[in-house]
Chains A and B, each alone.
Chain A
């Protein structure tokens, strides 16, 4: 074998990426076309139907304000679904055993999953961004910052998806986090409104809600509008990534949900 002791098994890592990419490309409509069409519909409704009846927010048209939030919702969903379904189905169909019996490190297995999560999220995001720009519904202030938010949020929710994929024992459990955590927190996090529009008690929930910082950061990168210091958001994203990565690494090393 070509991998010396202790080094990174690059070919093994690339193989996980190739395998997951081929699995993803079995459902291109669901993976890419669906979020792009959904973004197009949002642009139509908020941009041309109801948008004109809503006052400017921070000097921006409503569609400009709302599109970053919609983009973030799509990224969160894409990342979470990609990793949770990959891990769950590999357990369900038992082909996770292929990787367990091979000389891959746990970090390589996790990195392989995350690479495809990030690739799917970036393609989804760039597609929505291009649609938005084409229909004059958004702009891009800082492409570097934009990519940071897409990659970091995708990685965080990719890791969260891995945890749920390891934990779930049926399809119902696979959706629990999405229904009771991701969707409510993202809506409270300022997809459709500023935090100042919320009632006082809900504002505090928004300020301790990571989604608020993610959406705020992405909105800042696209239209320059912000309601909080972006560096707090950067800290939240990197902190969550570190905690989740170490947790997932631990789950893999003890074999939680993977080994009997």
Chain B
């Protein structure tokens, strides 16, 4: 079986001082999986995503997307991925439809393909009244929706969501969860990082916890939630924190 994502011995060292952000990290994501990637701030989650998507260059190790080498054959690998990043990496003065449309253009989608897909996504994320607005004129939640629409323009086989619901209201969060579950049911592989454990527990089938640049635990969701204290206690234990303050159910 070809894995959706195969990361082997990934190492990423930053700068002259040799700050190790990711250290010998290996993980596999099966096709169709909803994969939760958890860890405290600075654990190496975003760096791992950046290496997978081409925003950062791995220091060593290999990354394969559906069997395609993400470094050597980067153009083919990129076609299979959609990324919603943690930070808004967008031209602030561009209009919403342009941001989504341009991304489709980079992926080589024809004008007709883009038009249909942009219209669908703009409607899906309730962006119709804001379609002609500049990105800088939007609220935080609306900006997050634009990031999600942009990530999905190429209908990627592997959707990578780096804290996609940070700063969005409860309604959108629920809508987004439903949409992601729908996509996953239709066979899309989703790789999600989030600080909301409720979100991960609700959506993901497999969970990996990263700390200090290394995977410290990896397994089916049931293994985590069936522990005393549930996912939160399992997470805190894995990251070296004491789960003594976990609220009673």
- A residues apposed to B, CB below 8 Å: 1-3, 5, 9-12, 14-16, 18-19, 22-23, 26, 90, 93-105, 254-255, 259-260
Asked if B85 lies at the interface with its beta carbon under 8 angstroms from chain A, I say yes
Nearest opposing residue in chain A for B15, CB measure: A260
| 9 new A-B contacts at CB < 8 Å, known A1-B108, A19-B94, A97-B89 | A2-B110, A9-B108, A15-B102, A93-B90, A94-B88, A96-B89, A104-B75, A259-B54, A259-B56
Nearest opposing residue in chain B for A112, CB measure: B106
19 contacts between A and B (CB under 8 A): A1-B109, A5-B76, A15-B105, A16-B106, A19-B102, A93-B90, A94-B88, A97-B85, A98-B89, A98-B106, A98-B150, A99-B106, A100-B55, A101-B78, A102-B78, A103-B76, A103-B106, A259-B57, A260-B55
**Which A residues are in CB contact (< 8 Å) with B53?**
100-101
**Which A residues are in CB contact (< 8 Å) with B76?**
5, 103
Nearest opposing residue in chain B for A8, CB measure: B108
**Which A residues are in CB contact (< 8 Å) with B14?**
260
**Which B residues are in CB contact (< 8 Å) with A100?**
53-55
Are A94 and B98 also in contact (CB < 8 A) when A1-B109, A101-B78, A102-B103 are?
A: no
**Which A residues are in CB contact (< 8 Å) with B118?**
none
Contact B56 A260 (CB under 8 A): yes
Q: What is the CA–CA distance of A10 and B81 in the complex, to the nearest angstrom? A: 20
Q: What is the CA–CA distance of A97 and B102 in the complex, to the nearest angstrom? A: 13
Q: What is the CA–CA distance of A10 and B56 in the complex, to the nearest angstrom? A: 25
**Which B residues are in CB contact (< 8 Å) with A11?**
105, 108-110
For the complex of A and B, 3 pairs with smallest distance between CB atoms: A15-B105, A102-B106, A94-B89
Are A101 and B54 also in contact (CB < 8 A) when A9-B108, A95-B91 are?
A: yes
Q: What is the CA–CA distance of A5 and B85 in the complex, to the nearest angstrom? A: 27
Chain B: minimal CB distance from A77 (Å): 23
Asked if B87 lies at the interface with its beta carbon under 8 angstroms from chain A, I say yes
Pick the residue among B81, B87, B90 that contacts A98 (CB under 8 A).
B90
**Which B residues are in CB contact (< 8 Å) with A96?**
89
Nearest opposing residue in chain A for B155, CB measure: A1
Chain A: minimal CB distance from B205 (Å): 25
Chain B: minimal CB distance from A117 (Å): 18
Contact B55 A259 (CB under 8 A): yes
Contact B57 A101 (CB under 8 A): no
**Which A residues are in CB contact (< 8 Å) with B55?**
97, 100-101, 259-260
